Structure 1
Amino acid sequence: MRYALVLACALLGLSGQPGAGQDAPAAVVKAPSPILTLDDERLFSGSAFGKAVIARHDAATQALIDENRRIEAALETEEKELTARRSAMTRENFLPLSEAFNKKVEGIRKAQDAKSRELTRAIDEDRQSFLQAARPILAEVMVDAGASAIIDRRAVLVGFENIDVTDEAIARLDAAFADGSLKPAAP
């Protein structure tokens, strides 16, 4: 019954706190909830580990972009040289050079695409390792809150903000993995 009253007051905006014209901030209803929510994207990107992974991924991605630009410039130069030689060559002599160049370009494209896929695979693997390491800490958050489940915030159509435990989970994860790795911090 008390929960229903708290819920009704919350829905009606009756927090028991000073009115809108006064300076005190409105209180957040702290009704116990058997279900908590978590923004797993923010959990990862907001944690020290996630920030380190994202920074490494961004640096590796930028390095690959820079490498692709250098390769592209070199290939453009080579293509221009090949095109300039074309007028002085017979079709039979030019065709093997052209085919070799095209084969080279395709090989480079495949190699660069493989590097890009590897970067994506690596960050996905790091994200999965993070979520696996986070499970015991998320379980502690859940138990401490007296909840039975933590669900992805995106699955909730309507809910109270006070059931989102993302910030608390980030703080606990950063404390547990103080150096930004997934190795537990020394006690």
Structure 2
Amino acid sequence: MTRQLHILFVVLASFLVSTTVVSQTSDVTVSAILTVESDRLFAESEFGLRVGREIEAAQSILLAENRKIEAELTAEEKALTEKRKQMTAQDFRAVADAFDVRVQDIRRIQDTKAGKIEQLRDQEQVAFVNATRPILVELMQDAGASVIMERRTVLASNDAIDITDRAIARLNLAIGDGAGLRQIP
């Protein structure tokens, strides 16, 4: 089985090398198969950098808010503990239960805010994929390729068929940071 796998790798590598030509004059890869690093495409594009900044800012705001709420609730809990000495068990139980309900409500609100940040990230990624698709198709057509594969899933390839840098450059020219693509719900 190992020998068969080795032979498959050699044949695949030979195929990729023999079908890939890089034109020295136009910097165009001609290949039936191209690869792209989609994570890097997103992370290094103006679009992805903007989204990263926005998500990081929103998460920082939420984190600061959570810390403030935590400090306030800790102080309130400490005050309740002090008041307990002057209250009947029944009165304290009512106050403690109300405090617990309030804490749960706050937790739900904060979890909802965190969920909205994740939802924004997901929406932006969908917008990115939709904006990127025509650019990748154009690069594929330029190369005479039949397919673009995720580079992480390719076992061996010639670096010349990786179009990530060209895709980032074209994407930046075409849509910039993508802020204009945002669909506000």
TM-score if structure 2 supplies the norm length? Answer: 0.80
- Give the 3 Å change call, closer, same or farther, for CA 150–34 of structure 1 in structure 2: same
Amino acid at match of 1:63: I
Q: Are residues 1:64 and 2:59 paired?
A: no
Measure how far apart 1:182 and its partner are.
5.6
Cα distance in 2 for partners of 1:169, 1:125 equals: 21
Q: How does 1:41-80 map to 2 (within 5 A)?
A: 41-80=39-78
Deviation per CA, 1:125-164: give whole Å up to 9, x if none. 1011111011111101101111111111121122121111
Cα distance in 1 for partners of 2:48, 2:100 equals: 40
Measure how far apart 1:93 and its partner are.
0.7
Q: Contact (CA 8 Å) 1:37, 1:166: kept in 2 or not?
A: yes
Measure how far apart 1:106 and its partner are.
0.7
Measure how far apart 1:62 and its partner are.
0.4
Cα distance in 2 for partners of 1:31, 1:93 equals: 77
Q: Are residues 1:181 and 2:178 paired?
A: yes
Cα distance in 2 for partners of 1:137, 1:172 equals: 7
Cα distance in 2 for partners of 1:88, 1:95 equals: 13
Q: How does 1:117-156 map to 2 (within 5 A)?
A: 117-156=115-154
Cα distance in 2 for partners of 1:51, 1:75 equals: 36
Residue in structure 2 matched with residue 25 of structure 1 by the alignment: none
Q: Name the SS for the 2:34 alignment partner.
A: strand
Q: Name the SS for the 2:87 alignment partner.
A: coil
Q: Which runs of 4+ in 1 moved over 4 A?
A: none
Q: How many residues align?
A: 160
> Looking at both structures, which has the greater relative contact order when contacts are Cα pairs under 8 Å and sequence separation is at least 6?
2
TM-score if structure 1 supplies the norm length? Answer: 0.80
Q: Percent of aligned positions with the same letter in both sequences?
A: 42
Q: Name the SS for the 1:105 alignment partner.
A: helix
Deviation per CA, 1:50-108: give whole Å up to 9, x if none. 10111000000000000000000000000000000001111011001000001111111
Amino acid at match of 2:67: R
Aligned partner (choices 72, 91, 94) of residue 92 of structure 2: 94
Measure how far apart 1:31 and its partner are.
7.7
Amino acid at match of 2:178: S
Q: Are residues 1:82 and 2:90 paired?
A: no
More helix by share: 2
Measure how far apart 1:32 and its partner are.
3.9
